[in-house]
Amino acid sequence: MTEYKKIFRPGIKLNISIVGIVFEGFLTGLNFLVLLKLLRLIFEKGVEIKDIFGSVASLGVIFLFRLILYTISYTESQIGGASVTKKIRKTIGDKLKHIPLGIFTANKTGFYINAATSETADYEQVLTHKMADIIKFFMLNLLLGFYARTINAYVGDIILLILIMLIPTILFSIRQVNKFGTLKNKAREENVSAITEYLTGCQTLRSYGLVGTRNRLLTDTMKKYSDVSYQYEKAILPIGFAYVLFSYVSIAASLLIMSNAYNQGKLLAYELIILFMMLLYVAKISMSLYISLVAYRNLLISKNKIERIFKEKEEKTSDKKLDVKKYDIEFENVDFSYTPEEKVLNQASFTIRENTLNAIVGDSGSGKSTIFNLISKYYEPDKGKIKIGGMDIKGISSEEVLKKISLVDQDVFLFNDTVMNNIRYARENALDEEIFEACKMANCHDFILKLDKGYNTIIGENGKNLSGGERQRLSIARAILRNSPIVLLDEVTSSLDIENELLVKRAIGNLLKTRKTVVMIAHTMPIVEKADCILVVENGKVVEWGNHEQLMKLKGKYARMRQASDSSFIL
């Protein structure tokens, strides 16, 4: 965690820009010196035109220096802040690659989306605005307080008292910020998750007539966020109001003190005027300082949310390579559970031979997909060993294992990019000709050519402009192009119509022509019956294995499932 703290630190540019903004604030205080000099001339000996021009010129020079300093400092602070948030977002991305999927999926989508977007943007506000404003306003208020003491000690002390009273005000406000600010961020996180879920599943919701129902749930999260935001403001505003009231009551007391001092001849007219101007300005910047401090504390909650991601444990890895000559897969007494209360795999043991076609069948929830997730190292087993080519994959990074695997899932993910780029993700250095050949083998070359711009057609978010069968065939084209020694097929024809199912089956056939270790979860008997080995999973164990004929002779679980179904039964 220590190395992550460096990511939040402002860089040299940002620190210099903060100093510049603070110095610009000091220049603001010089305006009062110029005005005091001008007022003294007016009230003591009369003012001449040259004195006015001199004062205007001085104010102009101060303004020009302030403008130059503020422009440079503000620009550099934006660049410096963006540089820090760029590092934060990149580090979040790198961190997410190393968080075990079990932890990653346990949190809501909104948690990670918020961290990389809203929370990081909020923290940038701390760096680029609030930090410099707090230092500038504090030092300027302090400077004006001590300067006012040189004119009238009582007024100067009141200005300093306004600044001092900010401390208990902020401490009391922080309690409310910690309570309601955290609730507000949590509500925003839930709202983002609900919006993401709603938009992702909108088509399904509409098809089942559930848009209204889910819309109410989405509206509820929005109302919760609205209610918490109201409670937050309701808790903070009275504190701020009390502080403002105290500030202006103090100013009123100062006016009485100044009027009395003026009547006694202890305060000159021009001093009275300049002190009154300073008091009004102090009241204004004190309120700005209070707002900036509250916002600063609130925005630091965003930093804490980001740090939560950095604190999450990473999967244990090493530089060890999966350097094997064979690609058989072996499970040795593997236990696994998503939750401590329920085991999904219990002492599962089996061997998948290299360069064979293997089918995994079993009832829903028996552990078929879990076996896929463990082979892919999306999860780590609780006990037991998983070997590829005789090598235990424990301690090997998931990226290293996945280099050897092509996964064709029933839920195909496609980017909002061209057809060509979506397939090239499988192997970035692939030639166009290799992509064309992979698409021909996957039975998708012809339909691609019929698209508006062929291979350069943008297919929409998650391939929304394509049919389910077309998306599935693009996924197979990726697997063919990747040319990994292990192929995992997860019910790839389960949701397709007859025509698309036939085309996808042919594409799979072309994929299987090359010698690979293939493991599939299938739901149609013709595919299962052709497997070299069928693994029957029941209650988290492989209870039977062998080819179709061998398993039918056993007259066990597989035979009963076969006899109780037709050619389209789900395994």
Average pLDDT over every residue of 363-372: 83
Average of per-residue pLDDT across 192-217: 61
What's the average model confidence in pLDDT over 451-458?
A: 91
503-538 pLDDT, tens digit per residue, is 667 777 777 777 788 888 876 666 778 788 989 888
Asked if the model's pLDDT at residue 569 lies above 50, the reply is no
pTM > 0.85: yes or no: no
Q: Which of 104-118, 305-319, 347-361, 529-543 has the lowest mean pLDDT?
A: 104-118
Please identify, in words, the CATH class of the domain defined by 2-311: mainly alpha
Contact 310, 91 (CB under 8 A): yes
Q: Which of 178-192, 205-219, 412-426 bottoms out in mean pLDDT, i.e. has the lowest?
A: 205-219
Q: Using an 8 Å Cβ cutoff, are 5 and 311 in contact?
A: no
CA distance 357 to 348: 20
Instruction: Please give the pLDDT value at position 211.
Output: 52
pLDDT of amino acid 567: 42
Has residue 420 got a pLDDT over 50? yes
For residue 297, pLDDT beyond 90: no
- Quick check: 280 pLDDT over 70? yes
Which CATH number is associated with domain 355-366+399-563?
Answer: 3.40.50.300
Per DSSP, the residues of 135-169 read HHHHHHHHHHHHHHHHH-HHHHHHHHHHHHTHHHH
- Cα 182 to the chain's mean position, in Å? 17
Average the pLDDT over 277-305 and give the result: 83
3-state SS assignment for residue 440: helix
Could you give the count of Cα atoms lying within 13 Å of 475 in the half-sphere of its Cβ? 28
pLDDT of residue 367: 83
With 80 as the cut, is the pLDDT of residue 199 above it?
Answer: no
| More confident position, 110 or 263 | 263
Q: Mean pLDDT, the chain, as a whole number?
A: 81
Mark residue 209 as left, alpha or beta (left: phi above 0; alpha: psi -120 to 50; beta: remaining). left
Q: Taking the alpha carbons of 368, 373, 374, 376 in that order, is the dihedral positive or negative?
A: positive
**CB–CB of 92/309 below 8 Å?**
yes
pLDDT score of 203 more than 90: no
Q: How far is CA 31 from the centre of its chain?
A: 45
Residue type, 270: Y
Dihedral sign for Cα 233, 236, 237, 238, please: positive
**For residue 61, is pLDDT > 60?**
yes
Q: Which residues of 521-548 are buried (b: 16+ CB within 10 A; e: fewer)?
A: bbbbbebbbebebbbbbbebbbebbbeb
pLDDT for res 198 = 67
Which residue from 314, 86, 297 is spatially nearest to 185, judged by alpha carbons? 297
68 has pLDDT over 70? yes
- What is the rounded average pLDDT of the residues 480-485? 87
Q: Give the end-to-end CA distance of the chain in Å, rounded to a whole number.
A: 46
DSSP 127-144: IIIIHHHHHHHHHHHHHH
- Between 39-48, 338-347, 472-481, 515-524, the lowest mean confidence (pLDDT) is in 39-48
Q: For residue 255, how many C-alpha atoms fall within 13 Å in the half-sphere facing its CB?
A: 10
Q: Shortest CA distance to 360 belongs to which of 116, 531, 514?
A: 531
Whether the Cβ atoms of residue 101 and residue 378 lie closer than 8 Å to each other: yes
Q: Is the pLDDT of residue 481 over 60?
A: yes
Tokens of 234: 């309701």
Domain ranges of the chain: 2-311, 355-366+399-563
- The whole-number pLDDT of residue 208 equals 47
Maximum pairwise Cα distance, the chain: 120
Asked if the model's pLDDT at residue 351 lies above 70, the reply is: yes
Instruction: Tell which residue, 262, 266, 264, has the closest CA to residue 276.
Output: 262
Q: Measured between alpha carbons, how far is 75 from 445 in angstroms, rounded to an integer?
A: 51
Amino acid at 514: T
- Top mean pLDDT of 237-251, 308-322, 557-571 is at 237-251
* pLDDT attached to residue 1: 52
Q: At what angle do helices 468-482 and 498-512 cross, to 10 degrees?
A: 0
Give the per-residue pLDDT at 2.
57
Tokens of residue 55, six digits: 């004062």
Domains 2-311 and 355-366+399-563 fall in the same CATH topology: no
CA neighbor of 474 nearest in space, from 499, 440, 497, 515: 440
- Does residue 568 carry a pLDDT above 50? no
**Helix, coil or strand: residue 345:** strand
Q: Judge contact between 424 and 430, C-beta under 8 A.
A: yes
* For residues 353-375, average pLDDT: 86
pLDDT digits 0-9 by tens, 16-42: 887 887 787 778 877 887 787 777 777
Contacts (Cβ under 8 Å, ≥6 apart) of 104: 96, 112
Residue owning tokens 């939750």: 339
- Greater confidence (260 vs 411) lies with 260
